[in-house]
Structure 1
Amino acid sequence: MKIEVKNLSKRYKDHEALKNVSFTLDEPKIYGLLGRNGAGKTTFMNILSGQILASGGEILIDGENPFDNQRLTESICLIKEGDNFKKDLKIKNVLKIYSYFYPKWDQELADELIKEYNLNVNAKVKALSKGMESALGIIVGLASKAPITIFDEPYIGLDAPSRKRFYEILLEEYQMEKRTIIFSTHLIDEVSLLFEEVLILSEGSLVLKEEAESIRDKACAVSGKKGEVEKFIQDKDVLDRKQFAGMMTAYIFGDGEEARASGLSVEGVPIQELMIALTSRKKGA
């Protein structure tokens, strides 16, 4: 499903959460939606899933607005970091309700994941630990098979092995049946290798939209003596620089081979470091 974001804005009283954001997601991929707290990520996901209206601009999914559009909302599953389900419902009732709502619901997968995360289907949501409630959200998101599946910090309370298993299952399911997966997280280093494309928001504006492989090719960390690094980066697009004891490391968009030819050390820039650098700058990239 094609997602077109056109001059999207959202204002809450005196706070502008999104500011004329525009981009297009043309094909099923695993997208990383990144940014600091308050960047506008959750607001964007709520508009995309048809839960709130924009103040200006629009989001179109296959040419239609998702707000109050049942055909589209049946194709979108948003799993938030909490409060996804009514507290008095039993797990088996939650799964039954969602199985009616999502036309492509995979009950066999849901049953497998219930066993994987060792959940009691007769337990009520209000009796679940934070990790168990997160596991239930993950199960619903994956089993929905929704063409647009959105995970917003979906694993609060899950331990590292459980999160790792989630990433493995998500990738397995994606490889079997491609869909648009939008993943918002602060644990970027854990999941960055899953991302096929990265979007970074900062203070309500889009500062980067780039294929992950391209980022790895274009962005690099150049290190060496301070004077040598400063000379090399004079005409470069510098994201950030760090100094210590006469040495300097600069994050740049540029050719790593040119830096190596100048006798400097070159390494890739982790996506988490790139996000921090971009969202620390006063101007977008």
Structure 2
Amino acid sequence: MNIEIRNLMKKYKDNTALNNITFTLSEPKIYGLLGRNGAGKTTFMEILSGQILADSGQITIDGENPFDNQKLTESICLIKEGNNFKRDLKVKHILKIYSFFYPTWDQVLADKLIKIYSLNRHLKIKTLSKGMESALGIVVGLASKAPITIFDEPYIGLDAAARKKFYEILLEEYEAEKRTIIFSTHLIDEVSLLFEEVLILQEGELILKEEAEVLRDNTCAVTGSVDEVESFIRDKKVFEKKQLAGMMTAYVYGNMAEADAHGLNAEGVPIQELMIYLTEEKKTCGSMSKEK
């Protein structure tokens, strides 16, 4: 499904949640939607899933607005970090409701996941631990098989082993049947290898949109003498520079092989570190935010 975002704006009183963002998600991929708290990620996901309206601009999916559009909302599943389900319903009721709502629902997968996460179908949502409620959200998100599946911090309360199992199953299901998966998380190091494309929001603006492989291959930390590093980075995008005792380390958008050829020590920059550098202040990265 082709997702087009054009000049999207959303404000809450004096706070601008989304500030004139424009981009396209045109392929089934696993997208990492990253940014600090308050960057606008949840607002964007709620607009995309048809839960709220933008103030201006437009968001379309295959040319249609998702708001109040049942045909489209049957193709979108948003699982947030909490309050996804009515508290007085039982687990079995939640599964039944969602199986009716999503034409693509996979009951075999749902049953498999219920067993993996040891969920009791007869318990009410309000009696579940935070981890068990998160596990139920994961079950629904994966079993929905929705062409656009959105996970917004979906695993609050799950231990490391349970999160790892989620990542494994998500990748297995995605490889078996491609869909657009948008993943927003602060545990970036845990899941960054899943990402095929990365988007970073900062204060409501899109400051980076790039294929994850390109970021991995073309962002690096280079270290050498101040003169050597300054010469190497002269025509490059620099995220951060640190200097000590005549030596400098610079975090740049550049190729490690090129840095090696200049006699500099070069190491890859994890996506989590890149996100931190880009969002420490209001920085512009126009050369890195581009349409595909």
TM class by shorter-chain length?
over 0.9
The corresponding residue for 2:103 is: 103
Q: Is the 8 A contact 2:35 2:279 kept in 1?
A: yes
The number of residue pairs the alignment matches comes to: 285
Q: Is the 8 A contact 1:27 1:180 kept in 2?
A: yes
SS of residue matched to 1:45: helix
CA positional deviation for 1:226? 3.3
Query: What do the CA deviations read for 1:177-234 (whole angstroms, capped 9, x no partner)?
Result: 1000000000000000000000000110001111111111221111123343233223
CA positional deviation for 1:284? 1.6
Distance (whole Å) between structure 1 residues aligned to residue 242 and residue 86 of structure 2: 48
The corresponding residue for 1:5 is: 5
The corresponding residue for 2:290 is: none
Distance (whole Å) between structure 2 residues aligned to residue 210 and residue 237 of structure 1: 14
Q: Is the 8 A contact 2:221 2:266 kept in 1?
A: yes
SS of residue matched to 1:234: coil
Q: Is the 8 A contact 1:10 1:19 kept in 2?
A: yes
The corresponding residue for 1:19 is: 19
Query: What do the CA deviations read for 1:211-263 (whole angstroms, capped 9, x no partner)?
Result: 11111122111112334323322332101123345432211112322321221
Distance (whole Å) between structure 1 residues aligned to residue 158 and residue 245 of structure 2: 40
Amino acid aligned to 1:70: Q
Greater alpha carbon shift after TM alignment, 49-58 vs 209-218: 209-218
The corresponding residue for 2:171 is: 171
Q: Is the 8 A contact 1:206 1:284 kept in 2?
A: no
SS of residue matched to 2:123: coil
The runs of 5 or more residues in structure 1 that have no matched partner are none
Q: After TM superposition, list the pairs within 5 Å mapping 1:1-80 onto structure 2.
A: 1-80=1-80
**Taking every aligned residue pair, what percent have the same amino acid on both sides?**
75
The corresponding residue for 1:92 is: 92
Q: Is the 8 A contact 1:17 1:203 kept in 2?
A: yes
Distance (whole Å) between structure 2 residues aligned to residue 63 and residue 234 of structure 1: 43
The corresponding residue for 2:242 is: 242
> Within the alignment, does 1:193 sit opposite 2:206 as a pair?
no
Amino acid aligned to 1:85: F
TM-score w.r.t. length of structure 1: 0.97
SS of residue matched to 2:234: helix
Let me know the Cα RMSD of the aligned residues.
1.1
CA positional deviation for 1:77? 0.2
The corresponding residue for 2:251 is: 251
Amino acid aligned to 2:184: S
Query: What do the CA deviations read for 1:85-132 (whole angstroms, capped 9, x no partner)?
Result: 011110000000100100010111111100000010001111111100
The runs of 5 or more residues in structure 2 that have no matched partner are 286-292
